[in-house]
Amino acid sequence: MTTILVADDSATMRTLLELNLKKLPGVRIVLAKDGADALQKFEAEKPTLVLTDLHMPNMSGFEFIEKVRTGKNDKHTPIVIVTTRDEAESRQRGMDLGASAYVCKPINGAELVQVVEGCLAGITAAPAS
Amino acid sequence: MSVRKPEEVVELLQQASELTRDLMTENQRLRRRVGEAEVESQKFAERFAQVQDQSELLQNLFVVIHRLHASLELAEVLATLREVVINLVGSEDFGIWSVGGAELSLLAFEGNEAELRKLPETTGAQIRGALEREPYFRPDGESLGLTAICPLKVGERAMAVIVIRSLLPQKPRLSENDRQILEVLSNQGAVALMSAQLYEQALRESKSLRIEVRA
């Protein structure tokens, strides 16, 4: 079973992302309402992949990624940023922190599913360490 | 080694010629069929893209309606309206005003508050026009002025108005699907707002009645 953690402070966005991700077979979705909630659920659920917004209360998406990559020393779980910010600087910062992909809102459901499928295929194709 | 007679050779050549002609005819027929199949495949691809687009729109509309009617709390309805405009339509520069008589008062916004507060003074006539008639969408090709004015109306009664100044940088213009989302906000958003206001009013009245009964 693939577990996808979705972190977004907008309930509308969480519903929309959940509906899109449910199109993938064998997927379980875990929802988080901000970065701090996402970090807690990341530890508890050990998700296969994470989708995170950047601008969230309590803990931003950048801070969440940093804590996962350095604090938790998890370098492998794909993290997809889903945000309204389309600035090169923000994109670069996300990638430098260890994000796997960067998707701008408003999202296209089919494209988002493709990105997620690509990240999941990358996990399957990667040699076991 | 046997030597064929000239008549036999001629007959063989004729047979070969007929066979070649048949093959060429069949080849032409197959080429035509391939061409037709390519056109058909292109049509299917276009149809698939249309169906996917429609499915995406229906899904978004479902989420909008589901979220708008998920709560009777005014703050939550306003939060949903904000989230829809930010995340689904793609704007971080807009305001939502309540409409009471001649007054417009800012209920929620995203972007520069001071500039948004000035909007009823600077573009009041345009906003009033949209409130009396129908949603306004800036025509394609025009880059100046407001992007959209979306009155939230129950029947003829205007409850509020969403005014979008500009879209996110990655979003060049409002698509047909965005307009449909705004049109759904225009009626379902108004119903959700009215329900929330009536619910709050009922709560207030119930509270004051309880106080009166106790007294």
B26-48 pLDDT, tens digit each: 999 999 999 999 999 999 999 99
State residue A74 phi and psi, 5-degree precision.
-100, 110
Residue A128 confidence class, pLDDT cut points 50, 70, 90: very low
The distance between the two most distant Cα atoms of chain A, rounded to a whole number of Å, is 38
SS3 B55: helix
CA distance B149 to A5: 36
Residue A109, domain member (yes or no): no
pLDDT tens column, A36-81: 999 999 999 999 999 999 999 999 999 999 999 998 889 999 999 9
Picking from B88, B28, B25, the residue whose alpha carbon sits closest to that of residue B59 is B88
Domain span holding position A13:
2-101
The DSSP secondary structure of chain A, one letter per residue, reads: -EEEEEE-S-HHHHHHHHHHHTTSTTEEEEEESSHHHHHHHHHHH--SEEEE-SS-SSS-HHHHHHIIIIIS---SS-EEEEES---HHHHHHHHHHT-SEEEESSPPHHHHHHHHHHHHHHHHHSPP-
pLDDT tens column, A87-105: 999 999 999 999 999 999 9
Q: What is the pLDDT of residue A108?
A: 93
| Beta-carbon contacts of residue B21 (< 8 Å; ≥ 6 apart) | none
Which residues of chain B does A57 touch, with a Cβ-Cβ cutoff of 8 Å?
none
**Is residue B59 pLDDT above 70, yes or no?**
yes
Residue A117, domain member (yes or no): no
Asked if A20 reaches chain B (Cβ–Cβ under 8 Å), the answer is yes
Q: What is the pLDDT of residue B142?
A: 82
CA angle B3, B6, B8 (to 5 degrees): 85
Asked if A106 reaches chain B (Cβ–Cβ under 8 Å), the answer is yes
**Is residue B62 pLDDT above 70, yes or no?**
yes
Which residues of chain A does B89 touch, with a Cβ-Cβ cutoff of 8 Å?
106
Residue A129, domain member (yes or no): no
What is the DSSP code (8-state) at residue B155? T
Q: What is the pLDDT of residue B185?
A: 95
Q: What is the pLDDT of residue B126?
A: 87
Average pLDDT of every residue of chain B: 93
How confident is the model over B141-158, as a mean pLDDT? 90
Report the DSSP pairing between strands A2-7 and A49-52. parallel
Residue A125 confidence class, pLDDT cut points 50, 70, 90: low
CA distance to A78, B5, B103, per residue, from A61 (Å):
14, 90, 39
For B87, which of A13, A19, A86 is closest by C-beta distance? A13
| Beta-carbon contacts of residue A15 (< 8 Å; ≥ 6 apart) | B63, B66, B67
Q: What is the pLDDT of residue B1?
A: 61
Residues in chain B: 215
Residue A124, domain member (yes or no): no
Report the DSSP pairing between strands B148-154 and B157-166. antiparallel
Peptide bond preceding A106 in cis form (omega within 30 of 0): yes
CA distance B71 to chain A (A): 12
How confident is the model over B105-111, as a mean pLDDT? 94
Are A15 and B89 a contacting pair at CB < 8 A? Answer: no
Phi-psi region of B121 (alpha: psi -120 to 50; beta: other; left: phi over 0): alpha
**Is residue B200 pLDDT above 50, yes or no?**
yes
CATH number of the domain encompassing residue A52 = 3.40.50.2300
**A·B CB contacts under 8 A:** 55
CA distance B71 to B179: 24
**Is residue A129 pLDDT above 70, yes or no?**
no
**Is residue B132 pLDDT above 90, yes or no?**
no
**Is residue B101 pLDDT above 90, yes or no?**
no
Q: What single-letter amino acid sits at A125?
A: A
Residue B18 confidence class, pLDDT cut points 50, 70, 90: very high
Task: Give the count of domains, chain A.
Answer: 1
